[in-house]
Amino acid sequence: MLKNVIESPCGLRFMLDGLDLQSGFARRWLLEMNMMTSASEIEASHDVTKRFVGFVRTIDRTHLTTLLFRLQGVKDIRTTIKNLRQQSTLDDIELFEVKHLAILSTQVAQLLAEHGMGDAARIPDLNDVITILDPDGLKMASFYIYDSYCAELQQLRKLMREQPQQQEELLVEAAEIEETVRRDLTLKLHSHVDAIESALVALATVDINLARARQVVEMQLCIPSISADGSSHYTAMFHPQVKAALARRGKAFQPVDIAFDTSPTLITGANMGGKTVVLKTITLCQLLFQFGFGVPASEACIAIKDEIYFCIGDEQSIERGLSSFAAEMKNIDAVIKASRTDRKILALIDEPARTTNPTEGTALVQALLKVLSSRHMSLVMTTHYDIEPGSAHCLRVKGFADGSMDYSLVEVAGGEVPHEALTIAHSLGIDHEWLDLARKELENSISEKTC
């Protein structure tokens, strides 16, 4: 469910917080959504999103405002629907809720139909429900046990107004009749319970689709296509949260192109080269794609996965009392175990074994790559260690040139890691005494090796 991955360090929460949903029910409904893993389901969902993107681009302000205002009125009446399904007599408040929903859904359906969106929204027709709860045809979203339900009731209420001193007894008498009417209404409504439930879901879905579509337009996202061959391609991919943070400081985000398939991809590159951001963005895009959202890239063709693993190195699991190393090992262990199944897996592993000594770290990473290379899965991994890439596809951050960082990824033949740490530290204005000594140490160790 979406609510289980919302806190993923990839930045999904930022995207969901930015969604302008109109009702609390729509938000709850969205969070309870399961990740889609079938191509037909994802395609259908994306087709609807595309329709809504076209809709929000063309609809005029006034109509959009009216539509959003209507959607704000959607309430979570699932308990009422459950009672109705069980045929337990609905009280006035519950009957009001059903009527309110019926009128609202009719209004929203009409507004959408006027803009050719009727088939995209698929709101069931609840006019029969309205007729049951609106015997006088007033078309008002208010409710009580109307006089016209029963002539006797009408008579009693007339008496109440004429002889207020007898009201108490008359109310008791009326209450019995009212209860019979409620029972009758409940039974009549019961045959429409499926339509009522679908209407509630359809309204929440319209709300979600509208919010998604507006996010696509505002954040300049794309609706990705589905890859058939297991490979994923992104053109001008960006991370919306990082982009927004940079924009606040007056800086621009440099979009990145990347492609990967079911053989491993190894990303090397200088510190501060945006490697982690690349992994975050891929994770984010994959999740957004499979939950039916637009994806932050100018173009994207994405392969569907059953499971997505994002292992970010410095994640300490304080709750479980694990050190950063232990937490990381456990996370990667889960990837290896999952890779033994026949499920389609995408794993994004950021600098594995970075917190341990380089000798053992290198060995661990080298072995991990070998293990995962033999499996049919998508893996994108970053590292600073010098390892033998084998069959892995190698990418490298262009890096530091002419005093600025070029974040674009270039293909390289081997897995050789760049040695730019000292240059970058220097550009950060780090203490000279330290860096000069480090440079000497480095030179010594190189000359020792060559001797």
List of residues contacting another protein (CB under 8 A)? 24, 75, 91-93, 96-97, 100, 141-144, 157, 160-161, 164, 167-168, 171, 174
When the beta carbons of 143 and 325 are compared against another protein, the nearer one is 143
Name the residue type at position 397. Answer: V
Using alpha carbons, list the distances in angstroms from residue 125 to 53, 62, 188, 192: 24, 25, 16, 10
Residue 146 or 325 having the CB closest to another protein? 146
Contact 104, 70 (CB under 8 A): yes
Residue number with CB closer to another protein (161 or 248) = 161
Which of 145/345 has CB closer to another protein?
145
| 3-state SS, one letter per residue, for 22-71 | CCHHHHHHHHCCCCCCCHHHHHHHHHHHHHHHHHHHHCCHHHHHHHHHHH
Which residues lie across from 399 on neighbouring strands?
406
CB contact at 8 A, 347 and 237: no
Min dist CB 179 to another protein, Å, is 12
The nearer residue to another protein, 168 or 314, going by C-beta atoms, is 168
Q: Residue 309 has which token pair?
A: 């693993």
Instruction: Give the nearest distance from C-beta 160 to another protein in angstroms.
Output: 5
Residue 178 or 351 having the CB closest to another protein: 178
> Between residues 4 and 142, which has the closer beta carbon with respect to another protein?
142
Residue with smaller CB distance to another protein, 75 or 398: 75
**Min separation Cβ 185 and another protein, Å:** 14
Q: How far is the CB of 150 from another protein (least distance, A)?
A: 13
Q: How far apart are CA 341 and CA 139, in angstroms?
A: 57
Minimum distance from residue 112 beta carbon to another protein (Å): 23
- Give the shortest CB-103-to-another protein separation in angstroms: 12
Neighbour count for residue 439 (Cβ, 10 Å): 12
Spell out the residues 6+ positions from residue 236 whose beta carbon is closer than 8 angstroms to its own: 255, 256, 257, 297, 298, 299
Minimum CB distance to another protein, residue 190 (Å):
21
Place of tokens 């033949």: 413
Smallest gap, in angstroms, from Cβ of residue 76 to another protein?
9
Pairing of strands 299-302, 232-237: antiparallel
**Torsion sign, CA atoms 164, 168, 172, 178:** positive
Rounded least distance, CB 164 to another protein, Å: 6
What is the distance between the alpha carbons of residues 142 and 78, in angstroms, rounded to a whole number? 19
Nearer CB in complex with another protein: 132/332: 132
Q: 395 Cβ partners below 8 Å, 6+ apart?
A: 258, 265, 266, 267, 268, 409, 410, 411, 412
Q: Minimal CA–CA distance to 259: which of 276, 236, 241, 290? A: 236
